[in-house]
Structure 1
Amino acid sequence: MVKKYLVALAIAVFAAACGSTEKLSDQYSGFDLGNYKNYDFFEITGPENPEPGFEENIKFLESEISEALASRGLSQSSDKPELKLNLGIVVEDKVQTRTTSLATDPFMYSGQRSYTWESREVPVNTYKEGTLTMHIVDAATNTVVWAGTASRVLPKKNEKKQKAAQEAVAELFEQIDN
């Protein structure tokens, strides 16, 4: 049984809220969803102790992808699907920094009428960055026929996370359609 590899921290599905998308490789430029009739998802495994809402978030993400595929004429089928979708989600804690400048950061007194100043990075904020990777696998040949990824800063407010996930899935499918 093929298992889905998933690395998830904290709020897993919200990695779908990623903003920029890109194809991992141009080798997938000839891929056409119109050549397929059905699909299914690989089994998703997550952390041993998932955050509250983990399963619901994954189901929401799968639902958004299913809607996008249905609008392109594919149906979900667990009985010999032509395509299998593999989702990878990573959420990382990040620190936003800025570089010190003479205009905003004072000289430091170092004693005996001596002052010093040096440029350095200072932290100003923390945030979470999420990355969603989607591999579309041709089940007959067991080869990846398309891969894409989306990354962005995750919203902090719960009410904005589902909308961000919808936008990220839409961006991935824009890449597929191009």
Structure 2
Amino acid sequence: MKTFKLLPIFLVLLLTSCSTVSVYSDYDKNVDFAPYKTYAFFKPGIDKVEISDLDKRRILHAIDTELQAKGFTKSETPDLLVNIFTKSREQVNVNQFNAGWGYGWGWGWNPYMMYGGQPMVSTSTEGTLFIDLIDAKKKEMIWQGEAVATLTKNVDKKDERVQEIVSKVLAQYPPVKK
């Protein structure tokens, strides 16, 4: 019976701890994406990105992995230039609901629940990664992917998280024209 009382609390914790990635993309509808087969990183743009060199390498490695899986090859004379841009913001989460002891049911939710203390406040960092694909000859952006996700500070999980984010962004390339 106590398991059922803790189930709503467990579900709330589970749902709030899931890490989601929101992905968007935009592209030039007049471009034929089929001829693009090679790429290189746009060094002047990437050098301006204000993140740690470690995170920058993680992102570039993930982009390499995804583009090569799509059949692209890195080249000194590329068809596409790849640029990235990032931004971040702190998220403040306030939880007004704290379970407390009720009348006769023990720990957990019940209709007679009393207020159980102070609001819980937590912070997290939400990051946005933009991946721009630029026609190397025309010097025009032809595609942009964007991912918004909660970032991890756990060093052991950073590579995996970055790979997940980049993979979801580049899954939208090439665009499917309707």
TM-score when scaled to structure 2? 0.65
Bigger radius of gyration? 2
| Alignment partner, residue 66 of structure 2 | 68
Coordinate RMSD, CA, aligned: 2.9
Alignment-mate amino acid for residue 90 of structure 2: D
Q: Helix, strand or coil for the counterpart of 2:121?
A: strand
Corresponding residue for residue 35 of structure 2: 35
Counterpart pick for 2:125 among 123, 128, 146? 128
Residue 99 of structure 1 deviates from its aligned partner by 5.9
One-letter amino acid of the counterpart of residue 124, structure 1: V
The percent identity for this pair of structures is 26
Contact 1:18 1:132 in 2 (8 A): no
Kept after mapping to 2: 8 A contact 1:33/1:72: no
Q: Quick one: structure 1 residues 71 and 28, their matched pair in 2 at CA, closer, same or farther if it must change by over 3 Å?
A: same
Q: How many residues of Structure 1 are paired with residues of Structure 2 in the alignment?
A: 139
Change in 2 beyond 3 A, CA 1:159/1:30: farther
Unaligned runs of at least 5 residues, structure 2: 1-18, 98-112
| Runs of 5+ consecutive residues of structure 1 not aligned to the other structure | 1-16, 107-121
AA of the residue aligned to 2:71: G
Relative distance call for 1:31 and 1:56 in structure 2 (3 A) is farther
Corresponding residue to 1:86 among 59, 83, 108: 83
Whose strand proportion is higher, 1 or 2? 1
Q: What one-letter code is carried by the residue in structure 2 that aligns with 1:137?
A: I
Please give the alpha-carbon distance, in whole angstroms, between the structure 1 residues aligned to 2:86 and 2:135.
21
Aligned to 2:152: 155
Q: Does 1:22 align with 2:21?
A: no
Structure 1 runs (4+) greater than 6 angstroms displaced: none
Change (3 A) 1:136 1:98: same
* Matching of residue 146 in structure 1 with residue 143 in structure 2: yes
SS of match in other structure, 1:175: coil
**Larger RCO (CA within 8 A; separation ≥ 6):** 1
Structure-1 residue corresponding to 2:56:
58
Question: Contact 1:37 / 1:82 at 8 angstroms: preserved in 2?
Answer: yes
**TM-score, normalised via structure 1 length:** 0.65
